[in-house]
C-alpha cells in the first residue's frame, strides 16, 4: 500500500529547511521584539513569517489537513487536537535564544493522526541539524539513526529542564523545589538549551538522559516526543502515567527507571490545558 503520510513528511522536512534559512538570515538583521502573555514571552516578525510559510505551503498541498500553530493560537485560533491529520507547528522554538543570538533555535513540526504523532521534524537551524522521526521507523539526525543513552543510574545522569516564561511566584517555587531535589540527588548536572524541542533531541541523541518541564505547549513537544520514543526513549507525565500532549507537562527520558526516578522528585502543579475552552 502506498505510504500516504510520507509526502507530508517530505514536505515538512523541506519547509523546515526553508524556514531555517529565513531564521539564519534574520539573525543578520535587527530583530523587532514584541511580547505576548508577559514581559518575557517574546515573539518576533520572523516567528509569524515562518509560521505563515509553513501553514500556507502545507495548506496548498494538503487542503483537508488541520493546523495548530503557536502564533495562530496567540492570534486567537483554537487549539483543539482532533482525529484529523493535524500539523502542530512551533515556527521558532527558542525565540528568546533567537532574539539574543544564543545558538539553539529550532523549527518544530509535528503531525498527528487520531491524536497520535505520526511524524516529527525538528530543525536545529543554527547547528544545521535535521532531526526526524516517523512512527515505527526510528529517529534520525541528518540521516543517522539516533539511540538514547543506556544509563539507568540517575546519579550518572544529566537532566535537562527550563524555567519557562511564567514568573508566577507559586509556580517558580514549585520549579525551584523540583530543581533542587534533582540537583541534590545528586545528578551529574542539569542543563537547558532554551528550547524544549532541542532538549528532547538531546535526549534522543543520548547526550542527556532526561528532560522534564511544566509549562510547555503542544507545539513545543509534539515533534520531539516522537523523536524521543523512536530513539528508544519513554514519555511520561510529571506525576507518572501517560504523557498527555495537551496537559503542558512532560518527562522525556532514555528509560523508565530514569523517568520514574525524576517523577519522584518533581513537585508538580497544573496549568490551564492547551485545549481549554477560549475565555470570552
Catalytic residues: 70, 90, 92-93, 95, 220
Task: Tell whether residue 92 is among the known ligand binding residues.
Answer: yes
Q: Nearest approach, Cβ of 161 to ligand F1X (angstroms)?
A: 8
237 binds, among ligand F1X, Mg ion, none (CB under 5 to 8 A by kind): none
Give the span between the Cα atoms of 12 and 16, in whole angstroms. Answer: 6
213 binds, among Mg ion, ligand F1X, none (CB under 5 to 8 A by kind): ligand F1X
Q: Nearest approach, Cβ of 91 to ligand F1X (angstroms)?
A: 8
Binding residues for Mg ion, rule: CB under 5 A, are: 70, 90, 92-93, 220
Binding residues for ligand F1X, rule: CB under 6 A, are: 70, 90, 92-95, 162, 164-165, 194-196, 213, 215-216, 220
- For 42, other C-beta atoms within 10 Å of its C-beta total 20
Task: Tell whether residue 10 is among the known ligand binding residues.
Answer: no
Q: Nearest approach, Cβ of 2 to ligand F1X (angstroms)?
A: 34
Give the span between the Cα atoms of 92 and 108, in whole angstroms. Answer: 7
Q: Decide whether 166 or 181 has the Cβ nearer to ligand F1X.
A: 166
Q: Nearest approach, Cβ of 93 to Mg ion (angstroms)?
A: 4
Residues contacting 29, CB < 8 A, separation 6+: none
Task: Tell whether residue 93 is among the known ligand binding residues.
Answer: yes
Q: Decide whether 93 or 274 has the Cβ nearer to Mg ion.
A: 93
Q: Decide whether 95 or 229 has the Cβ nearer to Mg ion.
A: 95
Find out whether 233 and 208 touch, Cβ atoms under 8 Å.
no
Give the span between the Cα atoms of 23 and 193, in whole angstroms. Answer: 17
Task: Tell whether residue 41 is among the known ligand binding residues.
Answer: no
Q: Decide whether 149 or 199 has the Cβ nearer to ligand F1X.
A: 199
Q: Which residues fall in the annotated binding site? A: 70, 90, 92-93, 220
Amino acid at each position: 500500500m502506498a505510504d500516504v503520510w510520507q509526502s507530508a513528511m517530505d514536505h515538512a522536512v523541506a519547509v523546515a529547511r526553508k524556514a531555517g534559512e529565513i531564521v539564519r538570515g534574520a539573525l543578520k538583521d535587527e530583530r523587532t521584539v514584541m511580547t505576548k502573555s508577559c514581559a518575557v514571552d517574546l515573539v518576533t516578525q520572523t516567528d509569524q513569517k515562518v509560521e505563515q510559510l509553513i501553514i500556507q505551503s502545507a495548506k496548498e498541498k494538503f487542503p483537508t489537513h488541520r493546523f495548530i500553530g503557536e502564533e495562530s493560537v496567540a492570534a486567537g485560533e483554537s487549539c483543539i487536537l482532533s482525529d484529523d491529520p493535524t500539523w502542530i507547528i512551533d515556527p521558532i522554538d527558542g525565540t528568546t535564544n533567537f532574539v539574543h543570538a544564543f545558538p539553539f533555535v529550532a523549527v518544530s513540526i509535528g503531525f498527528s493522526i487520531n491524536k497520535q504523532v505520526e511524524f516529527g521534524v525538528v530543525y536545529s537551524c543554527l547547528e544545521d541539524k535535521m532531526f526526524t522521526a516517523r512512527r515505527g521507523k526510528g529517529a534520525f539526525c541528518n540521516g543517522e539513526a539516533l539511540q538514547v543513552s543506556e544509563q539507568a543510574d540517575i546519579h550518572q545522569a544529566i537532566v535537562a529542564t527550563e524555567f519557562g516564561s511564567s514568573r508566577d511566584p507559586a509556580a517558580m517555587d514549585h520549579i525551584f523545589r523540583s530543581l533542587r531535589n534533582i540537583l541534590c540527588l545528586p545528578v551529574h548536572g542539569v542543563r537547558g538549551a532554551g528550547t524544549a524541542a532541542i532538549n528532547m533531541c538531546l535526549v534522543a541523541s543520548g547526550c542527556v538522559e532526561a528532560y522534564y518541564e511544566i509549562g510547555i505547549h503542544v507545539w513545543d513537544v509534539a515533534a520531539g516526543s516522537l523523536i524521543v520514543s523512536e530513539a528508544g526513549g519513554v514519555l511520561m507525565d510529571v506525576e507518572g502515567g501517560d504523557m498527555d500532549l495537551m496537559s503542558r507537562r512532560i518527562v522525556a527520558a532514555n528509560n523508565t527507571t530514569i523517568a520514574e526516578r525524576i517523577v519522584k522528585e518533581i513537585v508538580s502543579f497544573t496549568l490551564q490545558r492547551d485545549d481549554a475552552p477560549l475565555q470570552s
